Amino acid sequence: EAYPFLRMAYAPLRLARLEFKRNRQHTETTDRLYALHIRWLAESIRRSETQPAEMRVLLQQLTSSMDEWARWGYPPDQFQQALVEQTQDSGNSAIWVRNLILADYHVTIGWNARGTGYADSVTDKGWEEFRQHISAAALLLREAHALHPEFPDAARRMITVAKAGGTPNSEPARFWFDRAVAADFTDLASYQAYALDLQPRWNGSLRQLLDFGRECLATERYDTPVPGSYMNILDMIGVELPNPG
């Protein structure tokens, strides 16, 4: 074990890139590399190789890896489930990362059960499973946020959970957005998550979207990307407007 497991984990990922470039499809080799990549990532989490300040970097690397494997046909929920199963005996220092991974898994499975159609197209069973998984995600994220309120990651995910009805009325999406940006004012993913919550399809309105964009602009924090969120929100509003043609 001359190298940390986190560094070792990227050897099978790089080999898989070469394998997919050559074959353009799944092979037994890519399946073995996929399993090895996850096993070494899980071992890194279990051994708590990263310091608390580095955990966000680890989480970003996990998300990036999951997205890359997904492009090659390995479903995100499969990746999340494998990581969760292989980190069950992790120590306390790994709880924050594991909770976020498991919360993401519950959100993914919940939305798979609900489907992406309109509310009246969702079955009773779909609603029941959706609510169960969203509630489970909320519990995990609350614990993660309590462990590290100085990180925005759990609060940002709670914005999405609130949008899905997984929080009480006293904790709307704005409640968790404020906590996310209090932890990291420049966390643009939090601004994007809250803007999505304000879309008309989620019981928001174009007026609310515009007001939020103006709020971002009014920060006058031109040393950050935050005022630029105003332009992104204008683009979102443009998509929602009826086509004059």
Residue 76 burial (10 A CB sphere; 0-12, 13-18, 19+): middle
* Single-letter amino acid code for the residue at 107: V
Estimate to the nearest angstrom the gap between the alpha carbon of 93 and the chain centroid: 20
Give the span between the Cα atoms of 21 and 201, in whole angstroms: 40
Is 225 in a helix, a strand, or coil? coil
Span 178-219, pLDDT tens digits:
999 999 999 999 999 999 999 998 889 999 999 999 999 999
pLDDT for res 225: 96
- Maximal CA-CA distance, the chain: 64
User: How far apart, in whole angstroms, are the C-alpha atoms of residue 122 and residue 33?
Assistant: 37
DSSP assignment of 66-83, as one string?
A: HHHHHHTT--HHHHHHHH
Residue 189 has a pLDDT of 96
Query: Angle of helix 188-197 relative to helix 229-240, nearest 10 degrees?
Result: 30
Confidence of residue 51 (pLDDT cuts 50, 70, 90): confident
User: Which of 13-22, 110-119, 148-157, 209-218 is predicted least confidently?
Assistant: 110-119
